[in-house]
């Protein structure tokens, strides 16, 4: 990806990675387990949750930013492992989304 699709990610030009993984696969950069709703998913006490992890990855967490709660995937490498990508990636993005909704 870095060599052939150099403009896919701004981190390529900085020679940086989003996760500290030796073999980081970018094909599912937009993790199929990430759920987001602009209107808010639910209220938790006084705060609004806007995103979450559908598989409740043990390496993800919910971050609180003022009155907003967002899924923090910074420590999770689930969608970046080659085996995961081989199992879930498809050139037809709609097929990936259909798997997510099953």
Binds ligand SF4 by CB under 6 A, chosen from 33, 49, 50, 69: 33
Name the segment binding ligand SF4 (CB under 6 A); options: 2-10, 38-46, 72-80, 92-100. Answer: 72-80
Q: Are strands 68-72 and 51-53 parallel, antiparallel or unpaired?
A: unpaired
Query: Is 27 near ligand SF4 (CB under 6 A)?
Result: no
With CB under 6 A, what is the number of residues at the site for ligand SF4?
12
Give me the torsion for CA of 12, 18, 21, 27, rounded to 10°: -70
Segment holding 27, helix H or strand E: none
- For residue 74, the number of C-alpha atoms closer than 13 Å in the C-beta half-sphere is 4
Q: Which residues bind ligand SF4 (CB under 6 A)?
A: 31, 33-34, 53, 55, 57, 60, 71, 73, 76, 78-79
């Amino acid at each position: 990806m870095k060599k052939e699709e150099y403009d896919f990610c701004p981190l390529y030009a900085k020679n940086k990675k989003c996760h500290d993984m030796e073999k980081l696969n970018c094909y599912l950069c937009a993790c199929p387990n990430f759920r987001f709703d602009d209107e808010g998913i639910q209220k938790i006490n006084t705060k609004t949750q806007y995103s979450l992890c559908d598989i409740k990855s043990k390496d993800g967490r919910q971050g609180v930013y003022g009155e907003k709660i967002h899924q923090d995937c910074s420590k999770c490498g689930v969608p970046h492992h080659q085996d995961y990508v081989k199992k879930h990636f498809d050139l037809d993005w709609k097929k990936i989304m259909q798997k997510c909704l099953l």
